Amino acid sequence: MTTYAAVGRLNQKERTRAAIVEGARDLIRAGAEVTMSSVAGAARVSEATAYRYFPDVVSLLREAVIDLWPSAQKALQPVADSRDVVERVAFATDFLLREVLHYQGAVRSIISASITRPQNAAARPGRRFGLIDHALAPLADTLARTEAPALAQALAQLRRDLAVVMSAEALFTLTDLCELAPDDAITSAVTTARTLTQAVVEAADEEYREPAPHPRR
């Protein structure tokens, strides 16, 4: 009897946890603001119960979005055969920011929680970094086969620059503070990402371009 009771309690806990996660996903899909209170309501549990399973909204959202967002490889499948790093970065930027818009209720909640509790910032999903690395893979492969420390540093800096541009924070700055329409904001970010990437690509091309032969006298 004791064993059956323990198993029953375990199953109930798993069902409750699953209900909380699914409640969060329902709110995310609807584009609604996601708070522990709203998730508890969607899951039909008390807010105190929700907090027993997840210490904060960031940890809850991190688990809830796992099945909602495709992998970087799947997201960039339309440009998988392209070696044009500029186009790959532009596609990744557009994809990510439209995803942010679609799920902006959840994204804003994550940003808000990480601002008020900086110690939880590392728990954010970090979606942009996988997309950046996948988009830059052809350039990274090329530089890995060469000995050019300056270009390796430029690539590292490009990753950091793109992390600023390919971000929800950048998008919301353009829409909320610059008052751009969402499509115009995305176009602006994509243009910036293109420009940053093109500069590094051109530097790499210049570095590896064979010198012109001397004219015969």
The pLDDT tens digits for 66-119 are 777 888 999 999 999 999 999 999 999 999 999 999 888 888 888 887 777 777
Whole domain around residue 177: which residue ranges?
Answer: 72-208
Domain boundary among 39, 64, 89: 64
pLDDT score for 209: 55
Same domain, 201 and 98: yes
CA distances from 57 to 29, 38, 86, 119 (A): 16, 11, 36, 13
Total structural domains within the chain: 2
Query: What pLDDT is recorded for position 210?
Result: 46
Q: Are residues 36 and 85 in the same domain?
A: no
- Tens digit of pLDDT for each residue in 3-61? 655 556 668 888 999 999 999 999 888 878 788 999 999 999 999 999 999 988 888 88
Mean pLDDT within 190-208: 89
Q: Which of 13, 31, 64 represents a domain boundary (last residue)?
A: 64
* CATH code for the domain of 37: 1.10.10
- 124-181 tens-digit pLDDT: 667 899 999 999 999 988 887 776 778 889 999 999 999 999 999 999 999 999 999 9
Task: For residues 87 and 165, state if they share a domain.
Answer: yes
CB-based contacts of 21, cutoff 8 Å, min separation 6: 60, 63, 64
Q: Are residues 38 and 87 in the same domain?
A: no
Q: In this structure, are 89 and 179 located in the same domain?
A: yes
pLDDT digits (tens, 9 = 90+) for 56-81: 888 888 888 877 788 899 999 999 99
Indicate the pLDDT class of residue 207, thresholds 50, 70 and 90: low
pTM of the model: 0.78
Residue 123 pLDDT grade (very low, low, confident, very high; cuts 50, 70, 90): low
Helices and strands (H, E) in the chain, number of each type: 12, 0
Q: Are residues 85 and 168 in the same domain?
A: yes
Which residues, including other chains, have CB under 8 Å from residue 93's CB and lie 6 or more apart?
Answer: 162, 165, 166, 186, 189, 190, 193
Contact between residue 91 and residue 187 where contact means Cβ atoms under 8 Å apart = no
pLDDT of residue 211: 46
Angle at 124 between CA 118 and CA 125, to 5 degrees: 170
